[in-house]
Amino acid sequence: MGIVVRQSFLNLISIGVAFLIGAVNTLYLYPTFLGSKLQGLIIALLAISNLVQPFISFGTQHAVIRYYSKYTKKSEKDGLLTLSILIPFVIVLLFIPIFFAYYDQIRQYLFQSDQSLSRYAYVILYIAVSTSLFEVFYSWLRVKLKSVFGNFLKELYPRLLIAFLLISYSMGILDFENFVLFLIYGYYLRLIIIVIYSFIIIKPKLNLNFKNDFKEIFKYCLLIFLSGAASSIILDIDKSMLSSILTVENVAYYSVAVFIAAVIEIPGRAMFQILSPVVANAINKNHYKKLESLLKKSSTNLVLVASLFFLLINLNLDDFYEMLNQDGYSIGIPIVIIVSFGKLFSMSIGCINNIISNSKYYYYTFWFSLFSSVLAVVLNIYLITEYGIVGAAYATLIVLTIMNSLKIYLIKSKFNIHPYSKDTIKIIVLSGIAYIIFSNLQLDFQPFINITVKSTLILTLYTLSAYIFRLSDDVNIFIDKFNKNW
């Protein structure tokens, strides 16, 4: 896993910095300069655009990763890349007239609680087109194991863009109308950059000769598209339904809490960018021993690091929200705790999603996604109505728990492998002991000092224990190399 560890580490740095900037945006710049109403609007627009995005990309980015390593001739690979661009462009040409034909109905439905905000609904389409095409070209880089720059554009660039726009808005350089326009311009600038970089790296030639595999690839794209559409519902349905059932202010409170809990996913997001094409290559070449090794190592490494993030987040929540000092936002404390358990479980299954989507059992992703999206909608309607904003968090936890359990069962039944080992149990025990110790540690300093002191103690105890007991060979090797270079 040498190249995986190296690029995962670089991606981890990029995503980590992105989350720090995102934290400044979400926790300070947004509420301070835009207020909860406009913050909720922007977040809702971006969330809904993520729901639309799979309808445009049609799963072609996943097809590139699935089939690229299967081909040996450059002409075949060029045909696959050509097809990955052609399909989204055709869909865009068909989708735009439909969107604007029903534009009034769409915006009235999406902004039932506040029709004054419905005039910004057009943002959804423009952002969705940009992000869908971006994902296609990013998949080109991933199959060449050149994920670092693409990951920078995917994770860090949008947060830098938002920060720049928020600061410009606060200084009076932009009004809100121009804020929205420059948000769109920024996303298309990112698209132009990755298009140029992708063509430099791959240098493809236009090739429309993909008739032999077109049926197979189209079938794969169709199922992945349906799965992706359903998965997008799972990711953003809670925010969309909060804005419809409650108010956009609740979207702001909920988004801050989920943003904090999502920090647990940073290691996985860093690793999966590079791991997916490696998994696809192992499956295409029938290297099942390597596949099992990738699954167990990814699970162990992610459980170890994600558990550390879980401890750092949940053991500092009270001090963090006190330091945030924004009216109404502290309602998100239980949301962070609830959602973070689901995120931790998702990290523990390692690269299972990559294995399923790149194997002959990829059609299961559709059924999983369909079931989970229906479950998410039903649970959100009921739980948000019954328990308000916290109900959305419970819905997320229930869906993640059920779906991850089904995926583990599938991999075990089809490949006779599973992600866990004795080290997994050791990590859980270590995390439990650390949680008990530090949850009883009460500090009476300023919130920032409390967080700094407690986090330093947690990090030191956890890292030393993991290193001494060799809970992860990859982590130990990395620490040894770091100490040697230092």
Those residues whose C-beta lies under 8 Å from the C-beta of residue 272, and which sit 6 or more positions away, are: 351, 353, 354
Q: Percent of the chain at pLDDT above 70?
A: 91
Burial of 326 (0-12, 13-18, 19+ CB in 10 A): middle
pLDDT of residue 479 exceeding 80, the answer is no
Residue from 297, 351, 305, 307 nearest 474 by CA: 297
Q: What is the pLDDT of residues 258-290, one digit of tens each?
A: 888 988 988 887 788 778 888 988 888 888 899
Tokens of 136: 């296609």
Q: What is the pLDDT of residues 377-407, one digit of tens each?
A: 899 888 988 888 899 899 999 999 999 999 9
Q: What is the pLDDT of residues 29-86, one digit of tens each?
A: 888 888 777 877 888 888 888 878 888 888 899 888 888 888 878 888 888 888 899 9
Give the mean model confidence (pLDDT) for residues 314-335.
84
Q: Are 438 and 389 in contact (CB under 8 A)?
A: no
pLDDT of residue 232: 64
* CB-side neighbour CA atoms (13 Å) of 265: 17
Q: Which helix (H) or strand (E) is 17 found in, with range?
A: helix 2-24
Supply the DSSP symbol for 152: I
What range defines the domain where residue 374 resides?
2-485
Model confidence band, residue 3 (pLDDT cutoffs 50, 70, 90)? low
Q: What is the pLDDT of residues 337-346, one digit of tens each?
A: 999 999 999 9
As a whole number, the mean pLDDT across the chain is 86
- The structural domain count of the chain equals 1
pLDDT of residue 130 exceeding 60, the answer is yes
Q: Are 409 and 285 in contact (CB under 8 A)?
A: no
Instruction: Give the number of other CB atoms < 10 A from CB of residue 318.
Output: 14
List, as own/partner pairs, every contact residues 38-41 make where C-beta atoms lie below 8 angstroms and the sequence separation is at least 24, other chains included.
38/176, 39/252, 39/255, 40/243, 40/247, 40/248, 40/249, 40/250, 40/251, 40/252, 40/255, 41/117, 41/120, 41/248
pLDDT of residue 1: 52
Model confidence band, residue 155 (pLDDT cutoffs 50, 70, 90)? confident
Window from 3-12, 425-434, 476-485 with minimum mean pLDDT = 3-12
Tokens of 363: 């059609």
Q: What is the pLDDT of residues 170-212, one digit of tens each?
A: 998 999 899 999 999 999 999 999 999 999 998 888 877 766 7
Can you give the pTM of this predicted structure?
0.77
pLDDT of residue 426 exceeding 60, the answer is yes
- Helices 2-24 + 266-284 axis angle, to 10: 150
pLDDT of residue 107 exceeding 80, the answer is no
Those residues whose C-beta lies under 8 Å from the C-beta of residue 258, and which sit 6 or more positions away, are: 238, 335, 336, 339, 393, 396
Q: What is the pLDDT of residues 218-244, one digit of tens each?
A: 888 888 888 766 766 666 677 667 766
